[in-house]
């Protein structure tokens, strides 16, 4: 069991509320953008994964 302070509870509540408002389509767009960035990194720095 984890004990949280009032500030931590408020932060978690804010994060969960923000996550709930994000639409799946927006998450998919973000994943595509991140995937494009990953491909560019591999091309420019082949030794890094």
Model pLDDT for residues 5-44, shown as the tens digit of each residue: 999 999 999 988 888 888 888 888 888 888 887 666 555 5
Q: Is the pLDDT of residue 49 over 60?
A: no
Q: Is the pLDDT of residue 47 over 70?
A: no
Residue 9's pLDDT is what?
92
Closest by CA position to 33, among listed 44, 41, 45: 41
Residue 22's pLDDT is what?
85
Q: Is the pLDDT of residue 2 over 70?
A: yes
Burial class of residue 3 (count of CB atoms within 10 Å of its CB; 0-12, 13-18, 19+): exposed
List all residues 6 or more positions away from 3 whose beta carbon is below 8 Å from its beta carbon.
none
Q: Is the pLDDT of residue 45 over 70?
A: no
């Amino acid at each position: 069991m984890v004990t949280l302070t009032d500030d931590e509870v408020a932060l978690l509540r804010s994060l969960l509320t923000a996550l709930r408002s994000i639409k799946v389509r927006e998450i998919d767009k973000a994943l595509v953008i991140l995937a494009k960035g990953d491909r560019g990194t591999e091309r420019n720095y082949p030794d890094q994964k």
